[in-house]
Chains A and B, each alone.
Chain A
Amino acid sequence: MIFSTLEHILTHISFSVVSIVITIHFLNLFLLVDEVVGLYDSSEKGMIVTFFCITGLLVTRWVYSGHFPLSDLYESLIFLSWGFSLIHMVSYFKLKIKKRKNNLSAITAPSAIFTQGFATSGLLTKMHQSAILAPALQSQWLMMHVSMMVLGYAALLCGSLLSVALLVITFRKAIKIIGKNNNLLNQSFSFGEIQYMNERSNVLLNTYFLSSKNYYRYQLTQQLDRWSYRIISLGFIFLTIGILSGAVWANEAWGSYWNWDPKETWAFITWTVFAIYLHTRTNKNFEGVNSALVASMGFLIIWICYFGVNLLGIGLHSYGSFTLTSN
């Protein structure tokens, strides 16, 4: 009884804190209260509080139910939002050492709240109770496989959202500036712009750097590009380990390591798409916009893999299935 109330409290605290943090960020955006350092600090502290709340929530669930808290869709969603807040914490502390502002929180905080919100919403109330594990799930592999997969999803989602952000920033002004292509050589610009101009494939970026304020946009897109690459590489590693441990588990439990189950197949498709992303990054011509397009496709594919297949509820992975009728 204590545990379930504790769980309840922690869920609600984390949800409310994250909503406050996001409100603060929106205020930053529209009212430019960024200079009020205290506000920014409090939003960062809010995210730290959220992280500890969600950790506490997961630990409570683990202790209460006796099994690792990753056996159905509700628990994996909570784990996913934990993954987002973890990424936020890591990037916050890394950037704090270099005394830079954490731009990543614009992505991680809303992601955490949306997944948390969906999980705690009325759609999945049936699953809030800790359920007992089916025989097939009673294995040590559960911890490794599912946690790696969900962490991989969290990192890949962050990375692909950063790429989407890059695309949005790139394409906002490109349409207006296409006409001014001819004037480029007479204008003054920095080294980075020359480099981009020589990218033969990235025609759209050629048209873009005309004035000094575009320099900051260029810096931002470059930062987004590099961060996206690193985070997606990390997510790719987790996804690889997750898929392979799942295959080994399947071999131990059912006798064959790959069954072309819809969920397995879609996880493999996700893996392939991000492998394509990593390969496009090897070529300097494809860096930037083109690889960001691939990563954006990856965003959709992760959601199909994670959610879409579960909605169908077929195959060996039917543990995560649910019907959208609210009880």
Chain B
Amino acid sequence: METLLNPSKTPFLLVPKTHFFKPSLLHSSFNPRPHTPFTRRPLSVAIICKLKTSQGRKNDGKNNNISKKILLSDSAPELSNEEGKAKAESGGGAWRVIRKLPRKVLSVLSNLPLAIGEMFTIAALMALGTAIDQGEAPEYYFQKYPEDNPVLGFFTWRWVLTLGFDHMFSSPIFLGTLVLLGTSLMACTYTTQIPLVKVARRWSFLQSADSIRKQEFSDTLTRASVKDLGVILMGAGYEVFLKGPSLYAFKGLAGRFAPIGVHLAMLLIMGGATLSATGSFRGSVTVPQGLNFVMGDVLGPTGFLSTPTDAFNTEVHVNKFYMDYYDSGEVSQFHTDLSLFDMNGKELMRKTLSVNDPLRYGGITIYQTDWSFSALQILKDDEGPFNLAMAPLTVNGDKKLFGTFLPVADTDSPDVKGISMLARDLQSIVLYDKQGKFVGVRRPNSKLPIEIDGTKIVIVDAIGSSGLDLKTDPGVPTVYAGFGALMLTTCISFLSHSQIWALQDGTTVFVGGKTNRAKAEFPDEMNYLLDQVPEIVESPISKQPGSIGG
């Protein structure tokens, strides 16, 4: 264990060291390295996203400091050379200022705390948007956030209406913050993550045992060979490179690229959403069975990029609207049989819609979202059939209730009495007499008559109307592509990029390694692999790989 420590660096560490190690460990898994961490701190910061440190100021928008990460030893002279070169490139004074401006803007935008602040702001605004009721008339806010009794002591309707909190998710504040986050994403991707790709793909060998021992995890194998180590590592899925006595292996490089993919996917989603918001058409219509409508009449634009297509001239005819029921009587599914006709009357398409199963034609999608009761067809005293329009009633607790009224007495008198018919769905109609007393229930299919106050009523049919939502959205393919990319890249970025360096010094092999994500599991994995490296036992006749050793 003494070989692990470098006594020249920090003498006062020697004493507590042995005190901490448990005797059960075969070889040390926790290796406190005496080294000055200060040189490493700002470097690893600069990799992921730039921080405004004093080091960072020098390198606005430059990629050179990242190279320090892999080549741990001496790239400082490199740095100043590149900087000097860049400065010499730009021309006169004013031109230099203009040239520097985008770089400065980039460096400001790709600042990590700024991005974190933006994300916090967005989260807070969204939370506020759910707390404040959206889309109500101004009077509602006058009432709810009055000036003489402000919520939380200062929040009045003035705040709500001037800041646009009543339509939070399309207000300038919210959209502005989103745009800012988008530009930060782009800046960060350009300035730090793309250079990271170039750097991480470079493999470098560490030439000195000291630099290997400085790694997060390091170990020493006495009497081993780097080649054996290489073979073991290859078996464990690492890509191994051997150059003379030194070795470099890595695994999980995709885990470094994936965050770039995440950012790009987010930009794609944002772009697609912008396209949706500015270029789509939507509309909804409730069509009674048997009637029709033209798509273009129903669809309204949502933004300035919306342009109608030829498919807007299609006529939609509702052939039939019907519902499925469970045995308990609840609605299980509603269906609409639709036919699409062009302007000449030729049938283009026929499909039965249901919820979760929309109709797609010419870029326009029709969704089944709702239903209503249009009319009740009855026979009165064997005359008719009469269509009585059903109106929706709002009663506490009932989800949907429709009713109609058949007057039996003189319709001109102010106090008209008649038969009331109520229905919750298209299955059964409940009938009440002139006094409002319950008489009976009839199903439209049964054709059974019912006698109320001397009038014979037969329910012939219950005509429903279908609630349809129409939509055309050019941004959907982009957004779906962004979704798929985001899901994939988020999964991949779970992988941890592990790097291992080894150096053969005589019969000793120094091994060092680090990983960016799976820090808890890495030492154990390394110990497991190193356990498998065969120990070279010098016999008088020949070298033979021996048993498992440390």
Contacts and interface: CB of A to CB of B under 8 A. Distances in A.
Interface of A: 98, 132-136, 138-139, 141, 188-192, 194-195, 198, 212, 215, 219, 223, 226-227, 229-230, 233-234, 236-237, 240-241, 244, 247-248, 251-258, 260, 262, 265-266, 268-269, 272-273, 275-276, 279-280, 282-285, 309
Given A212-B19, A251-B476, A279 B490 contact: no
A254 B41 contact: no
A272 B119 contact: yes
Interface string B517-547: 1111100100000000000000000000000
A227 B15 contact: no
Interface in B306-346: 326, 328, 330-334
A138 B356 contact: yes
Given A132-B330, A251-B476, A283-B45, A188 B32 contact: no
Most A CB contacts (10 A, CB to CB) among B33, B51, B116 go to B116
Given A226-B519, A226-B520, A284-B41, A138 B355 contact: yes
B387 interface: no
11 contacts: A135-B354, A135-B356, A191-B32, A255-B282, A269-B126, A279-B115, A279-B119, A282-B48, A282-B49, A284-B41, A285-B45
B529 to A, nearest CB: 13
B190 interface: no
B38 interface: yes
Contacts of A254: 367, 369, 469
B20 A252 contact: no
Contacts of B470: 255
Cβ-closest 6 pairs across A and B = A191-B32, A226-B520, A282-B48, A255-B471, A139-B356, A135-B355
Given A240-B487, A269-B123, A279-B116, A248 B518 contact: no
A258 B470 CA distance: 16
B361 to A, nearest CB: 14
Contact of A135 (B17, B30, B32, B334): B334
A272 B356 contact: no
Interface in B469-497: 469-471, 473, 476, 479-480, 483, 486-487, 490-491, 493-494
Contacts of A253: 355-356, 367
Contacts of A212: 16, 19-20
A279 B181 CA distance: 14
A139 to B, nearest CB: 4
Contacts of A284: 41, 44-45
B126 A265 contact: yes
A136 B367 CA distance: 11
Interface stretch (B80-88, B127-135, B227-235, B290-298): B127-135
Interface string B492-528: 0110000000000000000000000111110010000
Interface string B375-388: 00000000000000
B34 A191 contact: yes
A255 B473 CA distance: 9
A252 B13 contact: no
B538 to A, nearest CB: 33
Interface in B108-133: 112, 115-116, 119-120, 122-123, 126-127, 129-130
Nearest to B527: A98
B12 interface: yes
B367 A233 contact: no
B44 A237 contact: no
B401 interface: no
A318 to B, nearest CB: 11
A301 B404 CA distance: 48
Given A132-B332, A135-B354, A229 B517 contact: yes
Given A190-B13, A191-B13, A284-B45, A255 B369 contact: yes
A252 B524 CA distance: 46
B549 interface: no
A244 B48 CA distance: 26
A91 to B, nearest CB: 11
Nearest to A148: B487
B32 A190 contact: yes
A151 B51 CA distance: 34
Contacts of A198: 37-38, 41
B329 to A, nearest CB: 10
Which of B34, B51, B126, B473 has the largest count of A CB atoms less than 10 A from its CB?
Answer: B126
Contacts of B521: 230
A255 B328 contact: no
Interface of B: 12-13, 15-17, 19-20, 30, 32-34, 37-38, 41, 44-45, 48-49, 51, 112, 115-116, 119-120, 122-123, 126-127, 129-130, 134, 168-169, 273, 282, 326, 328, 330-334, 354-356, 358, 365, 367, 369, 469-471, 473, 476, 479-480, 483, 486-487, 490-491, 493-494, 517-521, 524
A33 B210 CA distance: 45
B520 A276 contact: no
A251 B469 CA distance: 12
Contacts of A241: 487, 490-491
A231 to B, nearest CB: 10
Contacts of A275: 119
B169 A260 contact: yes
B170 to A, nearest CB: 9
A227 B120 CA distance: 24
Given A198-B38, A252-B356, A283-B48, 4 more contacts: A98-B524, A188-B13, A190-B32, A282-B48
Nearest to B523: A98
Contacts of A251: 476
Contacts of A188: 12-13, 15-16
A179 B48 CA distance: 36
A227 B520 contact: yes
A134 to B, nearest CB: 8
B520 A230 contact: yes
A192 B32 contact: yes
Contacts of B487: 240-241, 244
A215 B20 contact: yes
A230 B388 CA distance: 64
Contacts of B486: 240, 244
B72 to A, nearest CB: 16
B44 A248 contact: no
Nearest to A268: B126
Given A132-B330, A248-B483, A256-B471, A265 B129 contact: yes
A65 to B, nearest CB: 12
B490 A255 contact: no
B488 to A, nearest CB: 10
